[in-house]
Amino acid sequence: MTQVKKNIVFKCKWNEIEEYQSQLKKVSGLYYWYLTYNPKELLYVGEATDLYRRMGQYQKDKREGYNNPRILELIEFEADSIMLAFQPIDNHGMDKKEFKRNLKEKEASFIQDWIPLFNIDENPRYQIHSIQKVIGQIVSDANREVTFNEMREYLFQKWRGKVSYERIDEALLNKRYHLSSYCKTSQKKQTLNPKQKKTA
């Protein structure tokens, strides 16, 4: 039987989940969906405080809570091709509420970095607001002025061309949404600055 180590990503086929019951039951973390014939295309990421129970909720006779409809469609028609990766995450002594929030933050951060095909919330692939959140975080981490042009090139490369220049430009325009909630912006100078610069 395969042993699961904390914080180590491991993989299994969808139809082998039951073999991992003892290792996944009551284990918290992130889970990732993809297909064996296209492993480079991440389809979906989710979080759970009990990974085995969460996988059970995708089973046809046990469905409860929210299940992504495109994942359910995959289970219906391509079950033999589905692969899952799991990343167990330790709670490090956090209480339940704090740990759940921590899991959601990790999930959101992963979605913003890897833009899975089926996730909608927090996904720059689909939401201008999510692009703006990422821009704000990058500017804050850089702790310096960043030009619009630098940012658009960086994001285009980061997301491997799957988020167009047009959508990145729309996020930078800051008209309909609120990029200025995440960083200082100057449309005239075409620059971005941290809300507060960190001192060494």
Q: How far is CA 70 from CA 56, 61, 115, 119, 166, in A?
A: 17, 17, 15, 10, 27
Token pair recorded at residue 3: 């042993």
Domain termination site, one of 60, 90, 114: 114
Q: Is residue 84 part of a domain?
A: yes
Token pair recorded at residue 17: 């989940």
Strand partners, 46: 31
Q: Report the pLDDT averaged over residues 164-190.
A: 93
User: Alpha helix locations (H) across 21-61?
Assistant: 21-24, 51-56
Strand partners, 32: 45, 85
Using 50, 70 and 90 to split pLDDT, how confident is the model at 177? low
Sheet holding 29-35, edge to edge: 10-13, 82-88, 29-35, 44-48
Q: Is residue 21 part of a domain?
A: yes
- The pLDDT tens digits for 53-81 are 999 999 877 777 788 999 999 999 999 99
Are 108 and 137 part of one and the same domain? no
Are 98 and 21 part of one and the same domain? yes
Cα separation, 67 vs 187, in Å, equals: 41
Are 39 and 102 part of one and the same domain? yes
pLDDT of residue 7 exceeding 70: no
Cα separation, 170 vs 66, in Å, equals: 31
Cα separation, 114 vs 87, in Å, equals: 15
